Structures are given as C-alpha cells and as structure tokens.
C-alpha cells in the first residue's frame, strides 16, 4: 500500500511508480507484431515496444477488441518503421458505402523521411483499415498509397488518423445506399471563375495541373486591360441538376447533405468557409428526370482565390479542385463524385489577336459533358465589349449580348465570323460583311473549292476555332444535349445549363442575316455528303439536320 521509487526516496505524489535516473531509461517489453497479437486479452493501456514497427505501442481499444497505436515514433534504422512526418493528399479516389465491402478505395500520402527504409502505415476507423507500405529514400515529396479493406459499419463521416509527429488525418464519408429501383447519374463539375492577371499575353497553354500560384509573368509587360474577376459562391448558392432514372415503381428518395471545409489558403480574403452540397427528399415516379441539388457557402460568401491565367486552368482544363463531394448513385454500393472547382477563364484560341480578346467559363451540361458557357464571339466573353462578364449567360433567347459569331463550316476564326453591332435583331437585308466572308451562289454552296471534310475534326482539327482543349461537338453529342432538355424547343434550350439563344444565321449567297431572335443554328463537326450537320432551334422545334457549309452558323464548344 505504498508508492514505489527507483533511484529516489521521494517518489512523486501522483505516481504509483517513479523511476529517476540521469544515465538510464525505461525499457518496455520488446516483441514483434506477431508476438504482440498472441497476448491474451491485452488490457486497455498496455504498452510494449514493437520491433516490427520500431515504435512504442499502447492498446487504445479494449481487452476484447485491441487497437494498438504507436506513439513517440521515430524513423526506422533497420529498414522498417513509421514515417517521421507526412501530409494527406487533398483529393483521393474511391468512396465507401455502408454495408458494402470496399473496393478500389485509396488514399495517397506524401512522406517526409529522415532515414531510408521500408515504411509500413496503417489506420482503422468504422470497420475499414487503410494500409500501405513504401521503400523510401531520405527526403520529402515521396508518395505512399494506402488501400482500404473491410466493410463500413455505418453511414457518416469518419476521420482516419495516422500516428506520427505531426499527425496526419483524412476524412472519408461513408454513404447509405439509395433505395432499390433508382439510379442517379454522375454530373460534371461546377466551376467558379476567379482571376487577377495584368500580364497574360502571350498566353501559353498549360502543361501541368492548375495551381494557386499568382503573378506568373507572360512577357513582363502589363496589358492595357487587367483581368480582375472575383469568383464567388453565396449562401443562397446555385442549383445543380442531377439526372435520375426510376424503373418499374416510384421511389422515395431520401434527403442528402454533405459539408466540406474550404481552407483559408483557397480563398481570396483568407477566410475558410464550409460549403454544403445537398438535395431534399422527394417521391420520384417511373421514368427519367432531374432532381435539384444545391451548392452553397455557409456563414458568408466564399470568395475564391483569384488565379493567374497562366497557372489557373491546367492542362486538363479543370482548374483547381476546391472540394469533392460524393453521393450514392444506386442501392448496390455505387457512388458518384461531384467536384467544386476554381478556374481562371478559358482564353479564346486566338486571344493574341486584338479582335479575339475573349474569355469563357466551363459549364456542366445535363448530358454529363463540360461545355463553354457562351457561343464563340459572344459580347459577354469579349474583354473589349462593354457587356464583358464571362460568368454571364444569355438572359433570354433574344439576348443579343449572347449571340456571338457566325462561322462558315470548317473555317477558322479569321475574322469572317464577326457581326457588327447593328446585326442583332430582325433580318439584315443590307448587311455588314467582313472582307473575309466568302459568298457562294452555286451548288454545293460551300465557301471552299474543292470541298474539305477534315477541317473541324477534333481538338487537332486544322481550323478548330475552339479554345485549346475544346472542340466542336459531334452530331451525337448535339443530339444528346438536345434530349437532356425539359422541352425540345428553344424554350428548352434557354432553360438548359448551356442557355442557348437564337442568333439567326448569315445567308451563304449575299451575306444577309436571317431570323435573328427567332431561330438558332449550331454547327457540329460532322458531314453529310456535300453538307454538314447541325442543330436547329425554334419556338416549336429542336432537331438535328443538314446545312450548307457556306452558311454562317453559331458555334458552341465542348471540352474534349
């Protein structure tokens, strides 16, 4: 019934055992992981030195369900041990569904090692273990991929913590499966455009991932026009449409909500914000349709970091990932990701030309594709036009600021496509025609002799007028876009995320513009004998048909 003192006659009053020495230390029982696991019913708090992992371990679980954790871990000197420090990646592949064994779920960590060797890492939460190993040299920036095993026991957010100094933790959301009989489709990212750049010409196409790096000089000379746009997400938020399919019987879709914190380093004002992606519960009948989800900031507007045009787009044209949300897509463990991204506006392919100083923003179509938000040449995209606002789209089918240019099929953006400020309403019988527009009055009514069918084929097409990484859509892609609308009319087109207006067309014979504000024609890159295919919009119809290549029609570009 007394305290024990070793090396002292006055043990600390709070200690049952107080060992004092200036030349000796405490030696824990030493054993391998296999030997540790043979201990019968190890008490909570029992400690050992694990010679497999080269660390002191304590059972933080129970006698019946041990949970051994390392502490005071140091790099191994014999080739096996715990990484001295590491950070979790901000984006990782794979997600989990409650009750469904995980498959293909990974997490990448970046290691910092002061002693070379093979390092073993493991962490467990909610029935799932993330584990991996890697042979690392001295230094930082080396990756180890952790792979998940197990079956999540419940839906919810679970934080996995790796025992190191400093600690690294990552959040993994476990989802409840959807009811049977319904499938939610994957959707394209939502982009917020944010930029500040004074020196952006000549523009160089990116070769790597987008970054938050700013003030990247193009040639060391500031432009006449400064790009300064603050991209935001408000507390009201934006509507995100998720397509669904219900078969055989109606379904009561439960509500869903997920919140992710956007760190201060991702914002212009240095204020971290929570962002929520959610949809309400609803009863859905048999068939296809869309549900309205909401993406919004919490407790104040999120001001996305202003990016540099040279570094804020990335070679994939996806910009910088702010958050990745995951929702259940069916009742068998399927999931889909929805990305919230910050991106600098997409520059026109010919932005070096003073007549093409135009910028566009990506927008997600209901067809699951990423398109530009405006027609090529729209005033909203034109930095030299008073209506310049690259985040804006057509307010109506007759919004002249969204009409844009009219291209002859297969021609590049050489100036022939422009309309003047007076060509925005009605029929222009005495038109302004650029000196490059080529009229034609004989069959096959093509601006080019002989005809050439290989001018707009893909991102590498000889005369592709779309921004780098974008191209004209195929006939099938135009048709799928049309079929995704609420109505196959001009009303459906303007109500869609692409908000396609009715710009009319330039007549191949004399250059006059017809049907401004009543009909819209949009080129595809596909041919049909001596003609080419395109989309026709009117108040009563939306269909794909044939058009003469000498006609001037609108172009809406699609991410490759």
Same domain for 397 and 317? no
Same domain for 119 and 225? no
pLDDT at 77: 35
pLDDT at 165: 45
**Residue 401: DSSP 8-state:** G
Name, in order, each residue with C-beta under 8 angstroms of 376's C-beta and a sequence gap of 6 or more: 348, 358, 404, 405, 407, 413, 417, 465, 466, 554, 555, 556, 557
436 close to 412: Cβ distance less than 8 angstroms: no
Same domain for 317 and 433? no
pLDDT at 174: 81
The DSSP H or E segment spanning 147 is: strand 139-150
**Residue 36: DSSP 8-state:** H
Residue 412 has pLDDT above 80, yes or no: yes
Tokens encoding 496: 């869609």
Is residue 36 in some structural domain? Answer: yes
Residue 470 has pLDDT above 80, yes or no: yes
Share of the chain above pLDDT 70, in %: 90
Same domain for 168 and 207? no
Mean pLDDT of 222-232: 92
Neighbouring-strand partners of residue 57: 48, 70
520 close to 404: Cβ distance less than 8 angstroms: no
Q: Which of 17-31, 201-215, 300-314, 429-443 has the highest mean pLDDT?
A: 300-314
pLDDT at 106: 84
Same domain for 277 and 393? no
Q: Which stretches of 7-54 are DSSP H helices?
A: 33-36
Mean pLDDT of 479-499: 95
Half-sphere exposure of 520 (CA within 13 A, CB side): 35
Same domain for 340 and 353? no
Is residue 418 in some structural domain? Answer: yes
Same domain for 159 and 37? yes
Residue 377 has pLDDT above 80, yes or no: yes
Please say which residue of 344, 375, 404 terminates a domain: 344
Radius of gyration of the chain (CA): 30
pLDDT at 374: 98
Q: CA nearest 297: which of 331, 327, 267?
A: 267
The DSSP H or E segment spanning 246 is: strand 238-246
Same domain for 81 and 134? yes
As for how many domains the chain has, the answer is 3
Same domain for 488 and 367? yes
Range of the domain at 453: 346-560
pLDDT at 214: 80
pLDDT mean across residues, the chain: 87
Is residue 17 in some structural domain? Answer: no
Residue 80 banded pLDDT, cuts 50, 70, 90: very low
pLDDT at 76: 38
pLDDT at 89: 65
pLDDT at 193: 95
93 close to 112: Cβ distance less than 8 angstroms: no
Report the 3 state secondary structure along 149-196: EECCCCCEEEEEEECCCCCEEEEEEEECCCCCCEEECCCCCEEEECEE
Same domain for 307 and 226? yes
Q: Which tens digit of pLDDT belongs to each residue from 152-203?
A: 888 877 778 775 544 567 777 788 889 999 999 999 999 999 999 999 999 9
Mean pLDDT of 245-257: 93
Is residue 447 in some structural domain? Answer: yes
Q: Which of 52-61, 81-90, 531-540 has the highest mean pLDDT?
A: 531-540
pTM of the model: 0.74
Residue 82 has pLDDT above 60, yes or no: no
200 close to 358: Cβ distance less than 8 angstroms: no
In three-state secondary structure terms, 475 is helix
Same domain for 449 and 309? no
Please say which residue of 282, 310, 344 terminates a domain: 344
d(CA 340, CA 364): 11
Q: Which tens digit of pLDDT belongs to each residue from 234-245?
A: 999 999 999 999
Name, in order, each residue with C-beta under 8 angstroms of 299's C-beta and a sequence gap of 6 or more: 235, 273, 274
Residue 451 banded pLDDT, cuts 50, 70, 90: very high
pLDDT at 83: 56
Is residue 555 in some structural domain? Answer: yes
Is residue 361 in some structural domain? Answer: yes
**DSSP-derived secondary structure for 496-554:** STT-----BEE-TTT--EEEETT-EEEEEEEEETTEEEEEEE-SS-EEEEEE-TTSEEB
Same domain for 359 and 501? yes
Tokens encoding 283: 């009863």
pLDDT at 423: 67
Is residue 8 in some structural domain? Answer: no
Please say which residue of 175, 192, 225 terminates a domain: 175
Residue 73 has pLDDT above 60, yes or no: no
**Residue 267: DSSP 8-state:** B
Higher pLDDT, 367 or 173: 367
Residue 465 has pLDDT above 50, yes or no: yes
d(CA 268, CA 260): 18
Mean pLDDT of 350-357: 91
d(CA 9, CA 18): 10
Is residue 6 in some structural domain? Answer: no
Q: CA nearest 86: which of 36, 128, 125, 144?
A: 144
Q: CA nearest 196: which of 277, 282, 304, 103?
A: 304
């Amino acid at each position: 019934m007394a305290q024990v003192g070793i090396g002292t006659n006055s043990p600390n009053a709070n200690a049952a055992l107080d060992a004092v020495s200036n030349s000796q230390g405490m030696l824990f029982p030493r054993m391998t992981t296999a030997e540790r696991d043979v201990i019968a019913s190890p008490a909570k708090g029992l400690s050992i030195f694990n010679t497999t992992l080269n660390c002191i371990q304590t059972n933080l679980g129970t006698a019946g369900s041990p949970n051994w954790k390392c502490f005071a871990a140091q790099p191994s000197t014999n080739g096996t041990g715990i990484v001295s420090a590491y950070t979790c990646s901000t984006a990782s592949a794979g997600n989990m569904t409650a009750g469904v064994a995980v498959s293909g779920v990974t997490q990448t960590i970046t290691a910092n090692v002061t002693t070379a060797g093979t390092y073993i890492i493991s962490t467990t939460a909610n029935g799932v273990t993330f584990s991996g190993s890697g042979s690392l040299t001295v230094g930082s920036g080396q990756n180890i991929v952790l792979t998940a095993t197990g079956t999540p026991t419940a839906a919810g957010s679970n934080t996995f913590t790796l025992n190191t100094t400093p600690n690294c933790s990552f959040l993994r959301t476990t989802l409840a499966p959807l009811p049977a009989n319904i499938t939610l489709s994957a959707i394209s990212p939502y982009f917020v455009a944010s930029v500040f750049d004074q020196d952006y010409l000549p523009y160089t196409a990116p070769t790597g991932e987008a970054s938050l790096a700013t003030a990247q000089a193009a040639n060391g000379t500031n432009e006449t026009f400064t790009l300064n746009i603050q991209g935001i997400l408000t507390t009201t938020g934006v509507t995100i449409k998720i397509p669904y399919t219900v078969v055989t019987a109606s379904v009561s879709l439960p509500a869903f909500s997920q919140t992710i914190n956007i760190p201060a380093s991702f914002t212009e004002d240095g204020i971290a914000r929570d962002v929520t992606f959610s949809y309400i519960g609803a009863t859905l009948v048999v068939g296809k349709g869309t549900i309205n989800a909401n993406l919004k900031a919490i407790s104040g507007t999120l001001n996305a970091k202003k990016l540099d045009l040279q570094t804020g787009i990335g070679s994939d044209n996806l910009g910088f990932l702010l958050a990745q949300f995951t929702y259940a897509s069916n009742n068998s463990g399927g999931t889909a990701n929805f990305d919230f991204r910050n991106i600098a506006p997409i520059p026109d392919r010919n932005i070096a030309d003073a007549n093409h100083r135009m910028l566009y923003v990506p927008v997600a179509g209901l067809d699951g594709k990423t398109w530009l938000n405006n027609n090529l040449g729209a005033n909203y995209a034109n930095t030299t036009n008073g209506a310049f606002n690259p985040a804006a789209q057509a307010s109506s089918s007759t919004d002249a600021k969204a009409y844009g240019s009219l291209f002859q099929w297969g021609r590049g953006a050489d100036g022939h496509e422009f309309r003047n400020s007076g060509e925005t309403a009605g029929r222009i019988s005495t038109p302004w025609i650029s000196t490059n527009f080529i009229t034609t009055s004989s069959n096959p009514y093509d601006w080019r002799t002989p005809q050439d069918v290989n001018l707009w084929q893909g991102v590498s097409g000889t005369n592709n007028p779309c921004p780098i990484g974008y191209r004209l859509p195929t006939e099938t892609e135009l048709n799928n876009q049309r079929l995704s609308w609420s109505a196959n009319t001009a009303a459906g087109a303007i109500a869609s995320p692409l908000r396609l207006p009715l710009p009319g067309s330039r007549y191949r014979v004399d250059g006059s513009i017809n049907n401004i504000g009543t009909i819209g024609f949009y080129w595809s890159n596909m041919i049909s004998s001596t003609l080419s295919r395109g989309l026709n919009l009117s108040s009563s119809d939306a269909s794909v048909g044939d058009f003469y290549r000498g006609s001037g029609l609108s172009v809406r570009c699609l991410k490759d």
